[in-house]
Amino acid sequence: MPVEPWTCLEDRQLLPEWGLHVGHLDLDGQRLRVALRPAEVQSAAPPLLLFNGIGANLELAGPLMAALPGSTCLIFDVPGAGQSPAPELPYRLGHLARLSGKVLDRFGFEVVDVLGVSWGGGLAQQFTLHAPGRVRRLVLAATSVGALMVPAGPRTLLRMVNPRRYHDMLYLDGIAPELYGGRMRDDPEALRLFARHARGGSARGYRYQLLAIAGWTSLPALCSLRQPTLVLAGRDDPLVPLINARLLAWLLPDARLHVLDDGHLFMLTQPTETAALVSEFTA
């Protein structure tokens, strides 16, 4: 009988709400909190590796992963986010790309589809550039080319660099409409959903994530990303304005764009709709 891939996880527990096997890996002295959700139905598609947004813990991707029954999903809290401790020294996206490859090696996954959201969209692009032979298809959600993007407004950017929203729900209530847009503007349940699952990491870890992507851009290398790519964007996204998605879809050699009537957090607020798009693309 084949060995189940989650057996490599230490301190494994099951989060039954989403069917996630959650535990820890130690890789080169870095402890990572990792979650694997096995496919519920047989599929020929490779596993889906997810990269979350800045400061985001893996539980925030739980609703989306639960809505992907045909995909084996793998996600981890990057160092300093969620329950992965921050390292002593800062890192860059290139380091995280190499670390991601080692996570895949530990699970025995050679080729994957990759989905990156917001900050994680930058890491998804960097990982694909670092290991193009390991990526079959790419999904870029609510993200951009990095430093050369069309930026958000100054007030929105100031709110983004502060991780307080992951710890102070009253503060989140005040800034979520301006920061995230879409359903976060007028849907109390969307706000409660974020508040229920968000578990911020350390302030140092958040700063390290900001430093990891500072000055980084994929713009000169986009033409080399030959993987079929699905670009997803919210029509009302104050943090990553829609024009950035249009730019990605235009510059990537094999990309298509889908715009959802929502804001920056459409993967959380519209998991079923988002999952349907991802499932169709990765089938």
Domain ranges of the chain: 5-282
The pLDDT of residue 44 is 82
Query: Residue 89: CB partners within 8 Å, gap ≥ 6?
Result: none
**Residue 14 near residue 20 (C-beta atoms within 8 A):** yes
CATH number of 5-282: 3.40.50.1820
Q: How confident is the model at residue 115 (pLDDT cuts 50, 70, 90)?
A: very high
Confidence of residue 18 (pLDDT cuts 50, 70, 90): very high
Q: What percent of the chain has pLDDT over 90?
A: 94
Reported confidence tier of residue 43, pLDDT bands at 50, 70, 90:
confident
161-207 confidence digits (pLDDT tens): 999 999 998 999 999 999 999 999 999 999 999 999 998 899 999 99
Q: For residue 202, indicate whether it is catalytic.
A: no
What is the pLDDT at residue 200? 86
Query: Is-contact 239 146, C-beta < 8 A?
Result: no
Q: How far is CA 115 from the centre of its chain?
A: 6
- Mean pLDDT, the chain, rounded, equals 95
Choice among 71, 100, 118, 144 that is catalytic: 118
Using pLDDT thresholds of 50, 70 and 90, give the confidence band for residue 3: low
Please tell me whether the overall predicted TM-score, pTM, comes out greater than 0.85 for this model: yes
